[in-house]
Amino acid sequence: MPSFQDNTAEPARPQTPTNNLLQKVKSNGSTRKFDHNLQHSLPIPGDGAHPGSIEVPATRSSMAETDYLMHSLSLTDRRGSRNSFGASLPIPKSKRQSRLSSVANADGRPTRPGMPAIQPTRDILSSQIQDVKAKITAAAKDMAFAFDIDGVLVHGDRLIPEGQRALEILNGDNELGIKIPHIFLTNGSGKVETARCAQLSKILRNPVSTDQFIQSHTPMSALADYYETVLVVGGENYQCREVAKQYGFKDIVVPNDIYASMPTISPLREHFTAEQRATSTPRDFSKVKINAILVFSDSREYATDLQIIMDLLQSEDGVLGTRKKDPSVDQLPIYFSQGDLLCPTEHPTPRMSQGTFRIALEAIYKAITGHELERVVYGKPELATYKYADEVMTSWMDTIHGEEKLPKNIYMIGDNPASDITGGNMYGWNTCLVRTGVYQGEGNDDENPANFGVFPNVLEAVQTALRKELGQDFMFKWNDNINPVTGENSVSAIE
Ligand code: G3P
Ligand code: MG
């Protein structure tokens, strides 16, 4: 089985920037240098001056392999050249990105994200019990869960009921009344984090804070330090433009802005509503240099999006309307937020996801230019996403327990062997595969077996992990009548 160790030095902790791999490039390209012996050699911009980012070496090939591997991303060492944008994936350095967080009281005071409303009596009682049962309490703080969302906790907007119960247990409905650390690590996309967390909190009937939440494009906020003008693709309406704004991107273009400026660019498009026109920002794109393409979410307009991306990839320096002579050099950087081919939804069988759009583009690019597309794919199972998860988990520990440390025993619970389980296995986590989503097979998955086992649903997985770490008789219920000195039920003790 491949492991992150094959390609990287030390997977379990964030690394310092590896800027020696990179060349200096200004966003206008004025200081760009190339090694013309290499194909696809456009460097990631920067001179190492990205204090807010960590550059994580890519674990998957940044080169498309349309001839051999159309079904999933390869984990080979062909990452493109050492100087290419595909050699590393920047992630934010700071653990808490205040610009993404919105959990606050009406008076602006921060709340206790992820925790229920303050109940003084219960809080006092549970902290007394935790003192009495110090050993189990320490173990509960030294474990954590990373939850996949689609196919584990929800199907689209529909709750998977066992998910609600699992979260209630972790949010304090257990014999210690303790918050057991957990984060959400989803390849989902297309909404600002605050909106998605608010929506999930309602569906799951449990609080979901932005400070414990990573969607596929969340770590891509680091790219705002690298690229000036970006084309942001995918998502409903203009929501991904909002996402990019929140991440700090300065100059954001979306395909509708381009279509509104030159409708002939996409002859296959049939509809462009008055509202879409009114909310687009047309400009003279012959004067705009786009520095990178960011596919944040699923395309809603395959024909238009593919056409515009192809035009840009073949352009001179990202200027629409131009054509470079040799498409094999100086390729415009293109990033995808995740690579899943399938996603479980309300529909009876999983639906196509962002990976299929990428594969369509790779095939078109190869057919038209004769070259493989160089691209970077964030999201599970990419190392950068897991490193970022460590950061968020550590910070979340600080939020809920005042201890800024990474718990030792981490459990990834997912439904997709090719992303959740592969990534978790390679990162040294315990992995639990559930049968409520993409995976429907008998027994364990052959190619990417979950090392902690296969479970009918998320509740079974959580309870099994809790019993392993906290004891077979650990109770999944808080008892308001508990005696804080003996740890016994005080009502029955009096009787
Ligand atoms: O594959 C698309 C995405 O919605 C999957 O999300 O939560 O299963 O990683 P998740
Ligand atoms: Mg899933």
C-beta of 298 in contact with ligand 1 (< 6 A): no
133-187+388-470 fold: Rossmann fold (3.40.50)
C-beta of 88 in contact with ligand 1 (< 6 A): no
pLDDT (0 to 100) of residue 32: 30
Distance between Cα 324 and ligand 2 center (Å): 40
C-beta of 151 in contact with ligand 1 (< 6 A): yes
Strand partners, 57: 88
Q: Which ligand is nearest to the CA of 437?
A: 2
Task: Find all residues with CB under 8 Å of 183, minimum gap 6, and list them.
Answer: 144, 145, 146, 147, 212, 213, 214, 389, 392, 393, 396
Residue nearest to atom 8 of ligand 1 (CA): 150
C-beta of 355 in contact with ligand 1 (< 6 A): no
Q: Which alpha helices (H) appear in 142-273, and where do they start and end?
A: 161-170, 193-204, 239-247, 255-261
C-beta of 39 in contact with ligand 1 (< 6 A): no
Distance between Cα 146 and ligand 1 center (Å): 13
C-beta of 148 in contact with ligand 1 (< 6 A): yes
C-beta of 150 in contact with ligand 1 (< 6 A): yes
C-beta of 353 in contact with ligand 1 (< 6 A): yes
Across the 495 residues of the chain, what is the mean pLDDT of every consecutive 10-residue run?
45 34 29 35 67 84 66 54 79 63 41 57 87 95 97 95 98 96 97 97 98 97 96 95 97 97 94 93 97 97 97 97 91 95 86 94 95 94 95 96 96 96 96 95 95 98 98 93 76 46
Distance between Cα 159 and ligand 2 center (Å): 13
Nearest to 375 by CA among 314, 295, 446, 439: 295
Distance between Cα 91 and ligand 1 center (Å): 20
Pocket test for ligand 1, best of 147, 183, 189, 343 (most atoms within 8 A of CB): 343
Could you tell me if 207 and 178 are in contact, meaning their C-beta atoms sit under 8 angstroms apart?
no
Q: Is 412 helix (H, G, I), strand (E, B) or coil?
A: strand
DSSP code of 318? T
Distance between Cα 420 and ligand 2 center (Å): 7
218-377 fold: Rossmann fold (3.40.50)
C-beta of 181 in contact with ligand 1 (< 6 A): no
Distance between Cα 397 and ligand 1 center (Å): 24
Retrieve residue 345's tokens: 């939804």
* Rounded CA separation 33/37 (Å): 12
pLDDT (0 to 100) of residue 200: 98
What's the gap between Cα 250 and its chain centre?
22
Q: Where in the chain is the domain with CATH 3.40.50.1000?
A: 133-187+388-470, 218-377
* Rounded CA separation 482/492 (Å): 9
Q: What is the pTM of this model?
A: 0.83
C-beta of 130 in contact with ligand 1 (< 6 A): no
C-beta pairs of 130-135 under 8 Å, 24+ apart in sequence: 130/176, 130/177, 130/178, 132/484, 132/485, 132/486, 132/487, 133/175, 133/176, 133/487
pLDDT (0 to 100) of residue 9: 36
**Phi, psi for residue 336 in degrees, rounded to 5:** -115, 145
